[in-house]
Amino acid sequence: MKNPILLNFDVEEFDLPLEYGEFISEEEQFEFSLEGLKKILNLLDKYNIKATFFITASFAEHNKPLIKQISNKHEIASHGLKHKNYIYDELEIKESKKIIESIIKKNIFGLRFPRLKKVDFSSLFRLGFKYDSSISPAYMPRRYNYYSEKRKINLKEGIYEVPTSTFPIFRLPFSWLFSRLFGFIYLKLGTLLCLKNPGFVNLYFHSWEFNNLNNFKIPFYIKKNSGWKLHRMLEKYILWCKNRNFSFSTIYDFLSSQRN
């Protein structure tokens, strides 16, 4: 697979306002993420792009017909049982896998844990997962510090660790918030550098980012260039990649191509 772009989306309850002291009901959380998800799907359909969707089991249970429909074209992976669960628990991850598989009637192989927290690779192997994408080899204040981790794919206790993409040397991420903060040129540069080393781009966003965030009491930098502005940038990015004959792939299909 030449110049692979692994475009993926975290689909979860929009619980971000709760972190900043603003109440939002669970139903509103689901509805807000669903609204953004529909915009993403329309864009991917327009350009016939395959992607990976990391979905919480709670969101999947609230939107069973749509999740089943998505699985017919895209890859569905686990984003845990509920997005508010920050500590890895094997029973919860097992339950999330069971719930999602019962909805889509096929096996799932990938996990991204909420907030990119650390996982137990031996546990994932026991549960039948093939890969984890819960690592960003960078430093993000108050979130994580994985600066010393590798940018390439690693095999750990039988599980392929697929890191999200960062710039070399300075290790700046360019997924979700960072693409919106620094713009399209930043996103293109990060893509070109990552295609050279480590040889792939693992780029992710959240479904709720594709909605207008201005009405929420969250930091201004999280709101910046969300909604239609992000939609427009992602469409521009897709066209830029297609014009250069880059290959869009699900994460599992990419890993399968590397093993063959």
86 pLDDT band, cuts 50/70/90, is confident
pLDDT tens column, 109-149 = 999 999 999 999 999 999 999 999 999 999 877 777 888 89
Question: Mean pLDDT across the stretch 46-75?
Answer: 98
The per-residue pLDDT for range 161-210, each reduced to its tens digit, is 999 999 999 999 999 999 999 999 999 999 999 999 999 999 999 999 99
Residue 220's CATH number:
3.20.20.370
pTM of the predicted model over 0.95: yes
Q: What is the pLDDT of residue 253?
A: 98
Comparing 35-39, 144-148, 221-225, the range with the smallest average pLDDT is 144-148
**Percent of the chain predicted with pLDDT > 70:** 100
pLDDT of residue 1: 82
Distance CA 72, CA 190 (A): 31
pLDDT computed for residue 148 by the predictor: 87
Phi, psi dihedral angles at 89 (to 5 degrees): -135, 120
Q: With a cut of 90, say whether residue 85 has pLDDT above it.
A: no
Count the domains in the chain.
1
> Phi/psi at 28 (nearest 5 deg)?
-65, -35
Collapsing DSSP to helix, strand or coil, 146 comes out as coil
pLDDT recorded at residue 260: 62
CA dist 164 → 18, 31, 146, 149, 237 (Å)? 26, 27, 11, 11, 17
Q: Is 227 in contact with 213 (CB distance < 8 Å)?
A: yes
Structural domain harbouring 207: 4-259
Any bridge partners for residue 11, and if so which? 55
Q: How many CB atoms lie within 10 A of CB 208?
A: 23
Whether 49 has a pLDDT exceeding 80, the answer reads yes
Closest listed residue to residue 83, CA positions, set 96, 97, 65, 94 = 96
Q: Kindly state the average pLDDT of the residues 19-40.
A: 97
Region 34-58 average pLDDT: 98
